Chains A and B, each alone.
Chain A
Amino acid sequence: SAVISQKPSRDICQRGTSLTIQCQVDSQVTMMFWYRQQPGQSLTLIATANQGSEATYESGFVIDKFPISRPNLTFSTLTVSNMSPEDSSIYLCSVESSGGDEAFFGQGTRLTVV
C-alpha cells in the first residue's frame, strides 16, 4: 500500500484567489492522479500527472484553471486558480500500486470558496 499526505486538509478562500494543494507519497510512483468531488457527487478525474512531462487533463478541465506540477516521483501539486464558489469541492490525490492495479487516496482537501 501507499501512504499519501495531502496539505492543506481544508481551507476557506476568497473568490478570485488561488490555492495550491500538495500531495506527498511515501514511495516513488509513476503516475499521480487528481480528482474532484463536488458536494453530493462522486469523484471526477481532473488530470493525470506523470513525472517529467505535462499533465494530461480530462475533458472539461484545463491547465490554466488547474495547473499541476510533478517535480519528482513522490510529490505533486494542484493549483485551483481564480476560484469561484463553484470550485468548492473536495480535491483528492491518488496513486496506484507498483503493479498499476490498486488505487490509494489521500485524505483530501476540503475547499470552500466564499
Chain B
Amino acid sequence: KQEVTQIPAALSVPEGENLVLNCSFTDSAIYNLQWFRQDPGKGLTSLLLIQSSQREQTSGRLNASLDKSSGRSTLYIAASQPGDSATYLCAGKYSGGGADGLTFGKGTHLIIQP
C-alpha cells in the first residue's frame, strides 16, 4: 500500500523567512508528485507537478524537488509572505493513463507571522 507522509504537521515562521516542507513516499515507482495548497474550507490549488523523470520544478517563489531513490520531495518557499499561510499537501500518482487517483499526505499547516 502506498503511503505519503508530510513533516512537519504544522509550522509557524516570521514573514520573510525561507522554509522547506517535506514529503516522503513509500513506493519509488511513483509516476508523478504534485504539491497543492488548500485554504481553510476550500478546495485544492495545484502549485507544482514533478514527473518521475524530473528532479525539480520552479514557479515564482516556489521550488519543488523529487528524489525517487530516497522517496522524498521537498517544497521550498522563498521570502515567505502572510498570504502563503495555508495547508500544503503533497500527493503521489502511481500510474499513468489516468486510471488511478492520488495518494495524499496529511499536509503541513503553515502560518506566516506578519
Contacts and interface: CB of A to CB of B under 8 A. Distances in A.
Interface of A: 1, 6, 30-31, 33, 35, 41-45, 48, 58, 90, 92, 94, 96, 100-108, 110
Contact of A33 (B42, B96, B97, B101): B101
A43 B103 CA distance: 8
Contact of B49 (A41, A44, A101): A101
Given A42-B107, A43-B104, A45-B102, A100 B42 contact: no
A30 B104 CA distance: 22
Contacts of A107: 42-43
Contacts of B43: 6, 92, 105-108
A100 B97 contact: yes
A6 B43 CA distance: 10
Contact of B34 (A33, A44, A45, A103): A103
